[in-house]
Amino acid sequence: QKEVEQNSGPLSVPEGAIASLNCTYSDRGSQSFFWYRQYSGKSPELIMSIYSNGDKEDGRFTAQLNKASQYVSLLIRDSQPSDSATYLCAVTGRRSGGYNKLIFGAGTRLAVHP
Amino acid sequence: ETGVTQSPTHLIKTRGQQVTLRCSSQSGHNTVSWYQQALGQGPQFIFQYYREEENGRGNFPPRFSGLQFPNYSSELNVNALELDDSALYLCASSLARAGEKLFFGSGTQLSVL
């Protein structure tokens, strides 16, 4: 079982629609959850962080966390062609030795078509 | 822009050679982490440096080594390059040893032939 799992996609949505990206993780001790956006050939860019159960909204983005189900999602409202990218879910492992690391999923490729 | 800079942007090496990649952290950030991202995969944690000492390491062999300097810049060294080392190498800086928000540099694309 992978530590962080995402559907590789591509997820294709029409412009203006809501894109829903999902992620599950295996370590119940995980404490922090992140969504990164990565354009082709570029480095990951942090777009959302969430630490407690529920929803967190930032502009067109909403992150949702359910620790009991070990599930985190990202909703993108009013999707634009410029949102077309790979979205990486990242989870911190249990803190040990005074450091933590991000564990990434393989990413979901989103394609927003006009 | 994250303020994290990496050099070079692209590099081509042959199997068995050694390579050094460089990273300058965002101002004020004292922790640097290195990640390897193979094509079609998510980034994989290599190691983290805090105040010039390695304080965390992923599942990478000893031929992957690093340094952090007093100005918090960092190097990643890879010896005895293998074809599977071809990847995007990402440097990320953060505010504290256990800081969680990582800000990535633009990466170094390494090709091993």
The contacts of residue A38 (CB under 8 Å, 6+ apart) are A44, A45, A85, A86, A87, A88, A107
Query: What are the average pLDDT values for consecutive 10-residue runs of chain B, which has 113 residues?
Result: 88 98 87 94 93 90 95 94 98 73 91 97
Whether residue B90 lies within 8 A of chain A, CB to CB, comes out as: yes
Whether residue A44 lies within 8 A of chain B, CB to CB, comes out as: yes
pLDDT digits (tens, 9 = 90+) for A69-106: 999 999 999 999 999 999 999 998 665 555 668 899 99
Question: Which residues face B24 on adjacent strands?
Answer: B5
pLDDT digits (tens, 9 = 90+) for A17-74: 999 999 999 988 888 899 999 999 899 999 999 999 999 999 999 999 999 999 999 9
Q: Which residue has the tokens 């190498």?
A: B89
Closest by CA to A108, choosing from A87, A82, A84, is: A87
Give the pLDDT of residue B3: 84
pLDDT digits (tens, 9 = 90+) for B22-37: 999 887 788 899 999 9
Identify which of B41, B48, B56 has the shortest CB distance to residue A106.
Answer: B41
Q: Which residue has the tokens 């591509």?
A: A10
In terms of CA atoms, which chain A residue is nearest residue B109?
A41
Q: Give the type of residue at A114.
A: P
Q: A88–B44: do the CB atoms touch at under 8 Å?
A: no
Give the pLDDT of residue B111: 97
Q: A43–B88: do the CB atoms touch at under 8 Å?
A: yes
